[in-house]
Structure 1
Amino acid sequence: MSTDKTGFEVPEQMRDFAEKSVDQARKAFDDFMGATQKAVVNVEDSANAMQAGAADVNKKALTYAEEHVTAAFKFAQDLVKADNVEDMMKLQQDYLRNQMETLGEQTREFSNSATKAVQDATKAAQKK
Structure 2
Amino acid sequence: MSDNGRDHFEIPKFEIPKDMRSMAEASFDQARKAFEQFVTNARDTAGKIEERNATMRAGAKDVSAKALSYAEKNVQSSLNYAQSLLKAKDLTEVMRLHSEYVQGQMRALAEQASEMGQAVSRAAMDAVKPKS
Match of 2:54 in 1: 48
Q: Pairwise CA RMSD of aligned residues?
A: 1.1
What is the TM-score of this pair, normalised by structure 2? 0.88
Match of 1:87 among 87, 93, 112: 93
**Partners in 1 of 2:73 and 2:14 — Cα distance?**
88
Identical-residue share of aligned pairs (%): 40
| Structure 1: runs of 5+ lacking an equivalent | none
Match of 2:44 in 1: 38
Match of 2:28 among 22, 29, 34: 22
**Partners in 2 of 1:64 and 1:6 — Cα distance?**
88
4+ residue runs over 3 A deviation = none
Residue 8 of structure 1: how far off its partner (Å): 2.2
* Residue correspondence of structure 1 range 1-128 to structure 2 within 5 A: 5-123=11-129, 126-128=130-132
Greater share of helix = 1
What is the TM-score of this pair, normalised by structure 1? 0.90
Q: Which has the larger radius of gyration?
A: 2
Letter in 1 for 2:131: K
Paired residue total = 122
| Structure 2: runs of 5+ lacking an equivalent | 1-10
**Partners in 2 of 1:23 and 1:6 — Cα distance?**
30
Residue 7 of structure 1: how far off its partner (Å): 2.9
**Partners in 1 of 2:56 and 2:131 — Cα distance?**
15
